Structure 1
Amino acid sequence: MSAEQHPADTPSARRYLGAGAEPDTSDVAALTGPVPAHLPQRLTITLWDFSWYTRAEPGGPFADLDAACARAADLGYNAIRICAAPLLLFSGLEAAGRPLDALAADLEIEGLGASPHGGFFGQRTRWYDTPGGYRLDLRDRLLELFEAAERHGLVVVLASWEYQQSPAFARSSDWFEAIAAVPLTLRYSLLGASWNRMINFLTEAGHRDTIALVELHNEVDFSLLPPLGEGADAGTGGAAEVVRLRRAHPDLLITASYGKPPHLAMHQVPEGLGAAQFHVYSYGVLDALQKLVDIRSEGSEGFPNAMLSSLLVPDAPTPAEYGRAAEWKYRATVVTDQMIYGYDWVDAAAWDEWLVEHYEPYREVMLREIESRTIAIAEWARWKGVPAVIGEGWIGYTPLHGTFEEGPVGRALAEHGIRTALDHGVWGMVLCSNAAPHHPMWADEGWQRATNALILAR
């Protein structure tokens, strides 16, 4: 030690004082894994999920796909993420004596259906606010989407929500009943075969280079599917199907997504994924409110409780007066009847007021949770040498007209997540799960343009 060096400046002293080991951070902002050269080297994603076909009613947000793609490009996006419904289109399953692809050729969209109290179930929820009342040919619509995306310089992330919620929006239960009849252990292999056919179909139509990523299924941990790694020793299960698809299509990025990956034990994620497409939600104060109002449960005695009742609009019907959607629709979706009722009749301003009033004790925890989860995903991806994508985030499921996530609090949390993702080499990310044509946040042009520019500048 030189005469000028203070003991506290030595490496050993710094560790003793709490600095800890000093990892090599020289390339931490570089992409976690290689991206095909024909794809954008950074993705900014707008989440269109299944709504690109369930909200295509006249005058709806996706009635004109070319206009929707043009608007996305104008706001600075270069990617859209969709449910491509591979099981409906390419599984070869039959229902009620006819192939599912015949149903897809004349798919009637209903949403959750009309309420006897007036209006339709889910009218003030996000994603479920589907009035329905029209038919479409989904295979033709898929081609129309790819053509519109290419005209406007967008690439497409393909996923399936079919074992989570997509079939619930059809008028007929045939789609859901057909895929629900498939034994649990065979569902991943059916998805794999369906995706293989869809990829070949899109390739023959000249759209292969527009595929940014293929996900075996959205949020496998929150869907009617076995654990992704189950059957790995026998070469079966979800991870094995991902590997098979990757071998069949080595030029494409292929994976499966988690709604809540094991952030504290990422070694539990199975081998073979071609990308880390994982989601980062920090419910925090929102979770506290949801527990108080018991809105995610089913069959709660005395629902709605006093806390939820205090947040409802004055003329809210009782659950009995409001009624219920067809029973099969609840089996086809992860959202409960209590959440549909609660979000349809909650006073969104009162909901937001409670969240804002109680946010401060949760603020630091939510910021740190978003940061730590994003870093965990990025570091796992770097360890495996694959691109990382945050396909959904950042707070959670709020009423359609709530503004907590769209307002200053939610935007600040989103910006923190985005900057963390950029600083740690994440390839693609959403601005917010609600930044899409079917959500009110789509109207915030300035924030979306500025944030997309920030992402693409890196």
Structure 2
Amino acid sequence: MTMAMWDATFLQRHTPDGAFADFDAVLDQTVERGYNVVRLDPMPQYLDLSDPDRTIAFADPRPREGYRPWFFDRPVSGPMVRWLDEFMAKLPERSLHYTLSSWWRFDATDETKVIAKPHTHVEAADLWLRFLEQWSERYGFDRLVCVDIHNEVPYFLPDFRNRIQRETGSDWSGPSFSPALIDFLASDINEAMDRLRRAFPQLQFTCSIHGDTRWLDVPVELDCLDVHFYADADPRWVARTRFDHFMGHGMFQRDDWFAEFSRRCGDAHRAIGPMLRARQRAKLFAFAGWARQRGMPLTTTESWSTWYYFDHADLDWSWLLEWAEWSVQDAIDAGMWGWTPHNYLQPQFEQWQDVDWHQRLTRTFLRS
């Protein structure tokens, strides 16, 4: 599978002048570039599929977050279930499949529109149960590859990391997972998976994770394994690029650090690029072995270099794209079932227009 991360952006930018204004055009472009699976966040925390005319609104982020690569980039309001209806009618007309995922973002303007705010995977599963019943009635499950009930555990379920601290006494940033933390994660995630499987035995369920090798000690029962491998897992890259500093001081809000960050990324890539690749490749193979051992097909729907970048005169994409090109052969060698070159496969990015580049990489992966 060649996979593109769209998440909620496909609805939140479905405005007359938005990147996803024309679903037909974007879907055709996706097929043309060689991608066959799109990752969608249908916002189960907001969308009630039984109430299609219900309006969801998001305020203009630009006064506060003018450098946001994904999600909504301007005010948007509308009957998003109707927009989803339009999209789901068009997708099956192409050679495309989809996955469902959730960031659990609570940033709509009207807090009364929140259907539920889960704090554990079991609570998230309960909301997904209701949502998937509606999905089955409205769209069916044809072309649905898998359901990711929490994108990048533990980062986006409300208060989940604080709950880990309270219930296990463990800090997520420690060098290894404590026995209490391992038991907590396995218990919560596995119970959530069991509830969903009992209700929908025909579907595949997962929770996506970072390429953090501490997970290899957690006996999670996932149907498939979506792992996100990023450069900030390597302290040599973080130190050279000052990634943590920049992400903590102006991500989405300022561009005065872009030039220095870009220069540092290029310098790091030239200085130790092969070493960074070697360590990331070893980590990929460790997860590939775990996936085979536990019977979980290995995919990635976002990965490889930096998880934050933006179209800007001060940001050079050449190093990022070279890293993406490395990833194809590494994914093939690891036996991945699904791969993506980077997490910027959306039409608002200038790089989306380089059709030949996308075709060359997707063709290589699919022909393997």
Superposed pair shares fold, TM > 0.5: yes
Deviation at 1:64, TM superposition (A): 1.8
Number of the residue aligned with 1:268? 217
Query: Would the alpha carbon gap of residues 87 and 128 (structure 1) be closer, same or farther in structure 2, given more than 3 Å must change?
Result: closer
Does 1:87 find its partner at 2:45?
yes
Does 1:68 find its partner at 2:68?
no
Deviation at 1:125, TM superposition (A): 3.1
- In 2, the alpha carbon distance for the partners of 1:105 and 1:219 equals 29
Does 1:154 find its partner at 2:154?
no
- In 1, the alpha carbon distance for the partners of 2:321 and 2:351 equals 10
Number of the residue aligned with 2:253? 341
Q: Secondary structure at the match of 1:394?
A: coil
Number of the residue aligned with 1:171? 109
- Specify the code of the residue in structure 1 equivalent to 2:330: T
Q: Secondary structure at the match of 2:47?
A: helix
Mapping of residues 369-380 of structure 1, within 5 Å: 369-380=279-290
Query: Would the alpha carbon gap of residues 296 and 154 (structure 1) be closer, same or farther in structure 2, given more than 3 Å must change?
Result: same
Mapping of residues 393-408 of structure 1, within 5 Å: 393-402=303-312, 407-408=317-318
- Specify the code of the residue in structure 2 equivalent to 1:339: M
Number of the residue aligned with 1:142? 84
Q: Secondary structure at the match of 2:219?
A: coil
- In 1, the alpha carbon distance for the partners of 2:185 and 2:96 equals 39
Query: Would the alpha carbon gap of residues 48 and 233 (structure 1) be closer, same or farther in structure 2, given more than 3 Å must change?
Result: closer
Number of the residue aligned with 1:353? 263
Q: Is the 8 A contact 2:34 2:363 kept in 1?
A: yes
Number of the residue aligned with 1:213? 146
Q: Please, what TM-score do these two structures have when normalized by structure 1?
A: 0.68
Does 1:280 find its partner at 2:244?
no
Does 1:387 find its partner at 2:329?
no
Query: Would the alpha carbon gap of residues 410 and 340 (structure 1) be closer, same or farther in structure 2, given more than 3 Å must change?
Result: closer
- In 2, the alpha carbon distance for the partners of 1:419 and 1:406 equals 23
- In 2, the alpha carbon distance for the partners of 1:403 and 1:247 equals 51
Q: Which runs of 5+ in 2 are unaligned?
A: 165-171, 173-179
- Specify the code of the residue in structure 2 equivalent to 1:449: Q
Q: Secondary structure at the match of 2:69?
A: coil
Mapping of residues 173-212 of structure 1, within 5 Å: 173-175=111-113, 179-180=116-117, 184=119, 187-212=120-145
- Specify the code of the residue in structure 2 equivalent to 1:202: W
Q: Residues 77-115 of structure 1, C-alpha deviation per residue, up to 9 Å, x if partnerless?
A: 11100111122235xxxxxxxxx9869820112242x52
Q: Is the 8 A contact 2:206 2:223 kept in 1?
A: yes
- In 2, the alpha carbon distance for the partners of 1:154 and 1:234 equals 33
Q: Secondary structure at the match of 1:105?
A: coil
Aligned length: 348
- Specify the code of the residue in structure 1 equivalent to 2:109: R
Deviation at 1:387, TM superposition (A): 1.0
Number of the residue aligned with 1:447? 357
Number of the residue aligned with 1:364? 274
Using CA pairs below 8 Å that are at least 6 residues apart, which structure has the higher relative contact order?
1
Q: Secondary structure at the match of 2:145?
A: strand
- Specify the code of the residue in structure 2 equivalent to 1:446: D
The percent of aligned pairs where both chains have the same amino acid is 21
Number of the residue aligned with 1:309? none
Does 1:57 find its partner at 2:15?
yes
- In 2, the alpha carbon distance for the partners of 1:421 and 1:171 equals 40
Q: Is the 8 A contact 2:206 2:224 kept in 1?
A: yes
Q: Secondary structure at the match of 1:139?
A: helix
- Specify the code of the residue in structure 2 equivalent to 1:167: F
Q: Is the 8 A contact 1:375 1:421 kept in 2?
A: no
Q: Secondary structure at the match of 1:417?
A: helix
Query: Would the alpha carbon gap of residues 122 and 421 (structure 1) be closer, same or farther in structure 2, given more than 3 Å must change?
Result: same
Q: Secondary structure at the match of 1:296?
A: helix
- In 1, the alpha carbon distance for the partners of 2:261 and 2:183 equals 44
Deviation at 1:415, TM superposition (A): 2.3
Number of the residue aligned with 2:175? none
- Specify the code of the residue in structure 2 equivalent to 1:47: M
Query: Would the alpha carbon gap of residues 261 and 198 (structure 1) be closer, same or farther in structure 2, given more than 3 Å must change?
Result: same
Q: Is the 8 A contact 2:31 2:96 kept in 1?
A: yes
- Specify the code of the residue in structure 2 equivalent to 1:71: Q
Q: Secondary structure at the match of 1:81?
A: strand
- Specify the code of the residue in structure 2 equivalent to 1:141: W
- In 2, the alpha carbon distance for the partners of 1:87 and 1:104 equals 16
Query: Would the alpha carbon gap of residues 291 and 104 (structure 1) be closer, same or farther in structure 2, given more than 3 Å must change?
Result: farther
Q: 1:125 aligns with which of 60, 63, 68?
A: 68
- In 2, the alpha carbon distance for the partners of 1:193 and 1:135 equals 27
Mapping of residues 317-332 of structure 1, within 5 Å: none
Q: Please, what TM-score do these two structures have when normalized by structure 2?
A: 0.83
Number of the residue aligned with 1:324? none
Q: C-alpha root-mean-square deviation of aligned residues, in Å?
A: 3.1
Mapping of residues 219-298 of structure 1, within 5 Å: 219-223=152-156, 224=158, 225=160, 237-258=188-209, 260-263=210-213, 265-283=214-232, 287-288=238-239, 291=242, 294-297=245-248
Q: Which runs of 5+ in 1 are unaligned?
A: 1-42, 91-99, 116-120, 299-337
- In 2, the alpha carbon distance for the partners of 1:147 and 1:281 equals 34
Name the stretch that deviates more: 73-82 or 283-292.
283-292
Q: Residues 355-385 of structure 1, C-alpha deviation per residue, up to 9 Å, x if partnerless?
A: 2234333313321232122212211110011
Q: Secondary structure at the match of 1:63?
A: coil
Query: Would the alpha carbon gap of residues 138 and 366 (structure 1) be closer, same or farther in structure 2, given more than 3 Å must change?
Result: same
- In 2, the alpha carbon distance for the partners of 1:374 and 1:218 equals 19
- In 1, the alpha carbon distance for the partners of 2:244 and 2:94 equals 44
- Specify the code of the residue in structure 2 equivalent to 1:81: R
